[in-house]
Amino acid sequence: MCFCVSKRIRKSFPKEFSRAIEINLPVDDSFYSSISKKKKSNKKRIAYLGRLDYSKGADIAYKLFKEINTSPDFKNIETFMYSYPWENDNFSLQLEEELKKDEYIKYIRANIHNQNVEEIDNDLKILIDSVDLFILPYRSLENTVDCPLVPLEINARKKFILTSNLECIKDLKLENIYYNDFFRNEFIISLNLIKKILFNINQSNSILEVGNKYRTSIISEKIIYSFNNFNKNCL
């Protein structure tokens, strides 16, 4: 039996191989807990969350934030990059150096090597809750098996996302998400689209409820059920 976390991976198996089962990537149940209160501020916070990686479009987010920070229409906007570099990747290291020098974009380097999983998750939940809109301009997700955890964790915290129009992301059917084709074509998106999304967020009286299908407890039940069903068929 083989568990696949995306349709693309599942389709890579021959049709006659019935033991390949599509299972969603799990998100720790704690991410579905109550949302921490955001600090009162007159400014909206837009952020990129993820590794400084070319395939994840970290440079696209960086260029977009530079444009936002120089636009008179976004005086009440803060831009953040919550990230860390590949230690042996020139693209990643060079982008980090540029971020360190930027006086407007707030670059916060993730401290993933000196914390345990629980500490990382707690910090991540507080971080997600502090942001109004996440920009995730993915070029490709094949190096993260088509399904990165970041969009799922953001969705669990009931926050808004603007991301690429990739099939593997659309297949997740997340709430509070906007798609953009331009990311995939290497173009910086229109600032008018950002303004429109922020306006929609302001007009939203309450954040939509999100589904539970990505909870670890739910995924675990599906895996156990699949194993039991498989064993019965083998008898």
Looking at residue 181, which CATH number applies to its domain? Answer: 3.40.50.2000
Q: Read off the pLDDT of each residue in 167-192 and give the average, rounded to a whole number.
A: 76
pLDDT class for 27, splitting at 50, 70, 90? confident
112 is a domain residue:
yes
Helix, strand, or coil here: 130? coil
With 0-12 / 13-18 / 19 or more C-beta atoms within 10 angstroms meaning exposed / middle / buried, residue 150 is buried
E-assigned strand segments in the chain:
2-4, 20-22, 44-49, 77-83, 106-109, 133-136, 160-164, 177-180
pTM value?
Answer: 0.83
Q: What is the pLDDT of residues 43-89, one digit of tens each?
A: 899 999 999 999 999 999 999 999 999 999 898 999 999 999 988 89
Q: What is the domain count for the chain? A: 1
23 is a domain residue:
no
Q: How far apart are CA 94 and CA 166, in angstroms?
A: 27
7 is a domain residue:
no
pLDDT class for 111, splitting at 50, 70, 90? confident
6 is a domain residue:
no
Q: Is the pLDDT of residue 101 over 90?
A: yes
Domain that holds residue 174: 28-214
8 is a domain residue:
no
Q: Read off the pLDDT of each residue in 144-169 and give the average, rounded to a whole number.
A: 84
226 is a domain residue:
no
190 is a domain residue:
yes
Q: Is the pLDDT of residue 94 over 90?
A: yes
61 is a domain residue:
yes
